[in-house]
Chains A and B, each alone.
Chain A
Amino acid sequence: MTALQKTMAKKETKQTFEQSLRRLEELVETLERGDVPLEDSLRLYEEGIGLSNECLAILKRTETRIKQLSKDLSGRIQLTETDGDE
């Protein structure tokens, strides 16, 4: 029951979109196979719905952030916001 173990272990920091989507895909597969007890499948389902909400919220963001990366004279890395050049 690895899917469940992962569910338990997954209480860590914020995930990237890629991680969330991958986990969602894993859940869909597990549920489709239908070989988990009903109680568990419901829990996985709820996790899946949560993840898809997270992913949709990210995809819904519309303003692309554009930054500029450079090094100053003393060799420090600088990340500056630009207002997009349009």
Chain B
Amino acid sequence: MAQNGIITVTELTRRIKGVLEHGFTELLVQGEISNAKLHSSGHFYFSLKDESAQLNAVMWRSRVQNLPFRPADGMKVIARGNITLYEPRGSYQLDCLSLQPLGVGELQRAFEQLRNRLMAEGLFESSRKKPLPEHPSVIAVITSPTGAAVKDMLSVLRRRMPSLEIVLVPVRVQGAGAADEIAGALDLVNEWGGADLIITGRGGGSMEDLWAFNEEVVARAVARSRVPVISAVGHEVDFTICDFVADLRAPTPSAAAELAVKEASDLIELIGNYCYTMHSSVMNSIAVRRKTVEHLVRSYSFHRPIDLLRQRSQTVDELSRRLEHSSRQWFQSAALRLREYTGRIQSLDPALVLKRGYAIVRQEGRVVSAAHNASVPGEAVITFHDGALSATVHDRTTEDHGKERD
């Protein structure tokens, strides 16, 4: 110490600094965040306060990046850190190493606040939900490229619909900045415009881990997305704001993939059934027309030139030949294809259909494919896979009563 007891500001400050920085280390300080400011440098400046005191604090960028949530004014937290003194300004502050919301209660409160606000705004209304495409060709998947979720989703999507095009948009799904990345990815997919459907999500974790999906930026990006969004965050029990805003919430990432696409093999079977239906419908109307022509030949043959009748009858024959031709070709190539792929063409085999419990009704050797085609009253033969029954047809109920043809 200099003479007269006089010391310089610098000297004093250094002594105070020594006392403070040695005496106040590894602190756990509880308080409420105020004056929160994320500087463009990435450092986070804030104050911790309670009813009667205030403490300046700073968290350096490298640590901010690991924060599981976005600290905001009013949030009660526990800050871990050391007191440091900044000599040029003579001020002391808490050098904050980590920040923890004061219990899950605090996160829960933040969650509820945002949920209530967005709900009041109508963001969760079912009228806002966009219908999902039934058969998407291109699906954008927004998630972490390294997590289990992406593997699960890809494998389910691939298995169900191998012809799919999947567009990955890799993002961080936790830590500071994750929410911005997710929101940015949602906007990017919309800007690109090539996807029919978006799935965003991540695997399970603590509420802090899932927090990015509870942030407003994500909610807003989902809300403004023109491409329908399926949200799949965490496990079945986890609900996030993103789930509420999304057009569909899936309980898990793999469930999202299941909801997104149908199974290719089911569609193949469906298309097979369509072809079968078309075929029998056209066969049926050919049969009806043929009957009409025959009827005409019988009843009007005295009044009309016979040539015209022959012509009509010929037209019908020709059409039925054409049908047989094109359908035989189709069924042959389809059979090859389907067998090659799943063997499901077998479901078209009448014998197998019969084994599943269906039966064929015939009258006078003709298949009766509709109630209105049956002769009533009349005799019928019902063929099962293991034999046949003869039956008597008493009466008929059809959906359009009274429009019976003979």
Q: Which residues of A pack against B, CB within 8 Å?
A: 16-18, 21, 24-25, 27-28, 31-32, 34, 38-39, 41-42, 44-46, 48-49, 52-53, 55-56, 58-71, 77, 79, 82, 84-85
Contacts and interface: CB of A to CB of B under 8 A. Distances in A.
Nearest to A24: B274
Given A18-B137, A38-B285, A55-B267, A60 B337 contact: yes
Q: Give me the 6 closest cross-chain CB pairs, A-B, nearest first.
A: A61-B163, A31-B281, A18-B135, A64-B158, A49-B330, A62-B162
7 contacts: A24-B271, A31-B278, A45-B327, A56-B334, A59-B268, A70-B188, A79-B194
A69 B278 contact: no
A62 B113 CA distance: 47
B interface secondary structure, majority: helix
Nearest to B151: A85
A69 B282 contact: no
Interface stretch (B31-39, B166-174, B381-389): B166-174
A52 B163 contact: no
Nearest to A71: B188
A interface secondary structure, majority: helix
A64 B278 contact: no
Nearest to A36: B285
Contact of B168 (A18, A46, A53, A82): A82
A66 B150 CA distance: 12
Nearest to B290: A38
Contacts of B268: 56, 59
A56 to B, nearest CB: 6
Contacts of B154: 64, 66, 84-85
Nearest to B193: A77
B319 A34 contact: no
Nearest to B158: A64
